[in-house]
Chains A and B, each alone.
Chain A
Amino acid sequence: MEIIAEARNLRKWFPVRLGFLKTLFSKQSLFVRAVDDISLYILEKEILGLVGESGSGKTTTGRLMVRLLEPTGGQILFKGMDITHLQGEKLRTLRQKMQIVFQDPYESLNPRMTIGDIIAEPLRVLRLANDEKEIMERVYAILEDVQLTPPEEFTFRYPHELSGGQRQRVNIARAFVVNPEFIVADEPVSMLDVSTRAEILDLMTSLRDKYKTAFLYITHDLALTRHVCDRIAVMYLGKIAELGRTEDIIDNPLHPYTKALISAVPVPDPDSKRIEVTIKGEIPSPINIPPGCRFSTRCPSVMNICLEKEPELVEIEKERFVACHLWKK
């Protein structure tokens, strides 16, 4: 299968703003190392889940992948083409191929535009339709696809008239209307009520089947990931800790961090094994990343080598990558 999007040694460091005097006298500048050398790829028709706690760099990764942020280092490839430094008209043409669905359906739609205009805007901006008639045809078709029917009615409504689930459908329609080949979905259901989450995820997977789109699905909810993703990448403090097929990661996690993450998920069954808390403390600041393995400060199986040497992400089985000194090839 063809690789649609790929990150190679991708880095994003945000400079920390200091006061005037501190800038004058401090010897080194500080950086938030949000994404610190990660490599991953997303195949055609595939949904790759990017999981991690807040501050692990998943959203930054997502935004880098669709070139909403400038990377500090590394490469981004789209269908084999290096797009890391693409600018101007070329970047604009590329936008048609990659889209993003934002987390908050209440903040990401312009309250003064009708649903029809919101969905038509990418077509207008990217000049993808010949005339208004074609634009409206495509808007109607995509509204049917996301089951906001009858489309004639929804095109004239405003976002405040819709429920959270319906708004997220509009967001998905806006991303899909340009026929993209790659979509970054940043926590698309975390703001929605439990009873409507499943239908949004079902909608995403059915559109993926219909249009053969590749997805980078960013989430903190491991339990839901399992129902959506083909493969999962677990991030910790700007690096990938573990990457592999969904069943392998959930049923047999190898990295101590993944293990802790899975055992901490509460289970809707009073008879089931209870949540276990195997690790202490909270995620350290990405400004002061611990030396050696980043997880060593919280890891229950920490060894001497972990404090000195940063483990590399190695393939220990086919399509199974772990960055931990416990697992050597």
Chain B
Amino acid sequence: MLLQVQDLTTYYKTIRGYVKAAEDVSFEINRGESLGLAGESGCGKTTVALSILRILPTNAKVIKGKILFDGLELLSLSEEEFREKIRWKGISIVFQGAMNALNPVYTIKDQIVEAILLHEKGTSKKEAEERAAKLFELVGIEPSRVNNYPHEFSGGMRQRAMIAMSLACNPKLVIADEPGTALDVIVAAQVFKLMKELKHKLNLAMILITHDLSIIAELCEKCLIMYAGYGVEYADVRSIFKNPLHPYTQGLIDAFPNIKAERRKISSIPGSPPNLLSPPTGCRFHPRCKYAMENCRRQTPTPTEVEPTHIVACHLYNKAG
């Protein structure tokens, strides 16, 4: 087991109260495995990622939960220890929006070298520069172009440079936050292909955060579907797509068109996601759920293993309730 997240709960403090962005989120990732974290905007996907890397904004706080990475409890490490042992060397992140995530006034080389020197004390500047060039080769950009500034790169190349940067200190786990959005279809496909290749080559574990289920089908082995801060369904990718159990997952899959299959009607889930300042009681999906029962309004469903390795948080499958 590489990463184990248990009952992670993160709230944001605002003047109007606490935004309950992530509640009791649990999942596990093995070495070389990739997990898709899917859901609509505002469901807490990015919050989970930021909590793992401990780069939450100052008004956010992990209320409870455990994050075990390679045997270490991440939440109890001191900031120094975390920076030295985990960030970039253990876990790195490719931020959303490749267009704007690089610093425009430094060359790409400077930015990669900075990361290496900061996280791997004792590396010489020359070694770091050589490594930056090698990383560029790895992601399919001409190594001499490390001396360029971000504005000299196209969108796809910037995303590749971001990926190169995330690999600078040989991490075991890379978190990719919406790697395809803001890129054109063909360029996005090139980036996904690269990520797939790198994953095999370097035996990387990956957390892929996206709202697009088809990318998860393409790249991941496991998937956690989130809704309004809760993980609602957790299983291997085949089960999620072939046998979705939670009504939200079913609705989400019905909303996706498939260009390579028979044309079928796509449908929406009525209503919109709740405001997390005052989420609905009980199951947070019940106001939009067509199977909602009396119990759903009152009681939060507990995640239950309905089939082996297929976990669902829904009263429909809770035999005891």
A residues touching B (Cβ–Cβ < 8 Å)? Answer: 53-54, 163-166, 193-199, 201-202, 220, 222-224, 226-227, 250, 260-262, 264-277, 279-280, 282-283
Contact = CB atoms under 8 A, between A and B. Distances in A.
A195 B269 contact: yes
A269 B258 CA distance: 8
B187 interface: yes
A166 B40 CA distance: 16
12 contacts: A195-B268, A196-B269, A261-B185, A266-B218, A267-B217, A268-B217, A269-B258, A272-B260, A272-B261, A275-B218, A282-B156, A282-B187
Contact of A265 (B41, B238, B259, B270): B259
Nearest to B264: A227
Nearest to A261: B185
B37 to A, nearest CB: 15
A226 B263 contact: yes
Interface string B32-50: 0000000011000000000
A166 B271 CA distance: 10
Contacts of B192: 266, 275
Contacts of A222: 185, 259
A195 B267 CA distance: 8
Interface of B: 40-41, 154-156, 184-190, 192-193, 211-215, 217-218, 237-238, 241-242, 251-253, 255-261, 263, 265-270, 272-273
Q: For A194, A274, A283, which residue has the most chain B Cβ atoms within 10 angstroms?
A: A194
Nearest to A224: B257
Given A266-B217, A272-B217, A277-B186, 9 more contacts: A165-B272, A194-B252, A201-B266, A264-B186, A267-B258, A267-B260, A268-B213, A272-B258, A275-B218
A241 B226 CA distance: 40
B258 A223 contact: yes
Contacts of B241: 268-270
B273 A193 contact: yes
A250 B263 CA distance: 11
A266 B155 CA distance: 19
Contact of A194 (B186, B256, B258, B263): B256
B278 to A, nearest CB: 15
Report the 6 A-B pairs with minimum CB-CB distance, sorted nearest first. A264-B189, A199-B268, A266-B214, A268-B214, A53-B184, A195-B269
A163 B266 CA distance: 21
A106 to B, nearest CB: 12
B185 A227 contact: no
B260 to A, nearest CB: 5
B227 to A, nearest CB: 10
Q: For B184, B186, B212, B266, which residue has the most chain A Cβ atoms within 10 angstroms?
A: B186
A170 to B, nearest CB: 14
A265 B217 CA distance: 12
Contacts of A271: 238, 242
Nearest to A195: B269
A193 B259 contact: no
A193 B263 contact: no
A194 B40 contact: yes
Contacts of A266: 189, 192, 212, 214-215, 217-218
Given A193-B40, A265-B185, A266-B212, A226 B272 contact: no
A274 B238 contact: no
Contacts of B268: 195-199, 202
Given A196-B268, A198-B266, A269-B258, A279 B186 contact: yes
